[in-house]
Structure 1
Amino acid sequence: MSEKTKMLAGELYDPYDDELTELRRKARISTERFNSISAMDKEERANLLKSLFDSTGNNIHIEPSFQCDYGSNIHVGENFYANFNCVILDAAEVRFGDNCMIAPQVGIYTATHPLNPVERNTGLEYAKPITIGDNVWIGGHATINPGVSLGDNVVVASGAVVTKSFGSHLVIAGNPAKVIKEISL
């Protein structure tokens, strides 16, 4: 089994594998190019993102600077917006529904490491997928941790650290994030 296959299956894998290293290098080149495209050329920016990500809706907008590990494990729905300094570590699949908004300096991290220090020091790591529903707004400086799923119509407050999954129609806040309000539709 290849290291990429292990990575995508959520098993321990070697991130320094030649294939994975090359895929990350290509993503770095793409994000470097994206981050240097003029703000006047929204179409070129969108087209580059559509070629970097595995799937997107027609309307996608990300402000620079944007960083990701691979890009090919990111799926965004229609009307996706991410503000400045978004980081998505996509060693596992990251899926966003439609009408998602991400505020500045949000981190979305699928990559994780063994808790056991002997195992962690081998350099092996693993990843857990993240799923974000429709109509989700993630506030500035929020962190979404590996394995989290958020339902539809969720607001993640600024600075929240989301360590577990939540259902739909909620406002979550804090570290670790907890429900602070239900949203009536």
Structure 2
Amino acid sequence: MLLFYWRKQYGVNLLAQPNTQIVGIRNLRTGTGILNVGVSYVGFAVAQDVARLNISGKLHTEGDVRIGKGCRLDIGPQATVHIGEGTYLNPYTRIVSLHGLRIGKYCAISWECQFLDEDFHAITYETPRPAKDPRITVGDHVWIGSRVSVFKGATIPTGCVVASGAVVTKAFTEENCLLAGNPAEVVRRNITWE
């Protein structure tokens, strides 16, 4: 497998497949670890799957971070996306951030997940809804199952597991819980995962 390493040219620790597309590489900071894009193999991904990073804002990674084949990150000019050490995003996960996203250390993000911190359309209500901070926060050591959608203002605390197909629309505060459903709710407490 042919790989490109961009340390000398752009000053980042980035290892990527040749078909990886990165726009705004100067807005990327990798810290001391290596950002691997499209490198790790998962059985259903194929070599032709293109990972695309469109970084108009800022993307910061710390430690070793993996972004799988077919992932797409679109980071708006005012947004900062931070991904912690030991975290990986499996294939076909999408991040669209116009405000901000923080994913903690040692998180496992399964395939086809979606993180979206913007509605893109205004909805007028008879009784106005209180404004909330649109940024998304994911604590340390969080496992997010396949096809989970995480929307603006959501917080997933440290040690939580989010069941496949869940839709997370609010800020949770209790750590080490299993979240499931649409909209997601706490269905189990005091869980652990490895």
Question: Which range, TM-score by smaller chain?
Answer: 0.5 to 0.7
* Equivalent residue number for residue 57 of structure 1: 62
Looking at structure 1, the residues matched to 141 and 101 of structure 2 have their Cα atoms a distance apart, in angstroms, of: 16
Pick aligned residue for 1:155 from 161, 170, 183 = 161
Looking at structure 1, the residues matched to 93 and 102 of structure 2 have their Cα atoms a distance apart, in angstroms, of: 15
Shift of the alpha carbon at 1:64?
Answer: 1.3
Instruction: Give 2:72's aligned amino acid.
Output: Q
| Cα RMSD, aligned residues only | 3.0
Pick aligned residue for 1:135 from 116, 121, 141 = 141
After TM superposition, the score normalised by the length of structure 2 is 0.63
Pick aligned residue for 1:83 from 90, 99, 119 = 90
After TM superposition, the score normalised by the length of structure 1 is 0.65
* Equivalent residue number for residue 114 of structure 1: 122
| 3-state SS, counterpart of residue 176 of structure 1 | coil
* Equivalent residue number for residue 73 of structure 2: 68
- Relative contact order higher in (CA < 8 Å, ≥ 6 apart): 1
Q: What percent of counterpart residues are identical?
A: 31
Larger fraction in strand: 2
| 3-state SS, counterpart of residue 22 of structure 2 | helix
Larger fraction in helix: 1
Instruction: Give 1:55's aligned amino acid.
Output: H
Looking at structure 1, the residues matched to 160 and 58 of structure 2 have their Cα atoms a distance apart, in angstroms, of: 23
Displaced runs of 4 or more, over 4 A: none
* Equivalent residue number for residue 186 of structure 2: 179
Looking at structure 2, the residues matched to 39 and 152 of structure 1 have their Cα atoms a distance apart, in angstroms, of: 27
- Report how many aligned residue pairs link the two structures: 138
Q: Please say if 1:144 is aligned against 2:136.
A: no
Deviations 1:118-176 (A, max 9, x none): xxxxxxxxx81001000001100000011111111010000000111112111000011
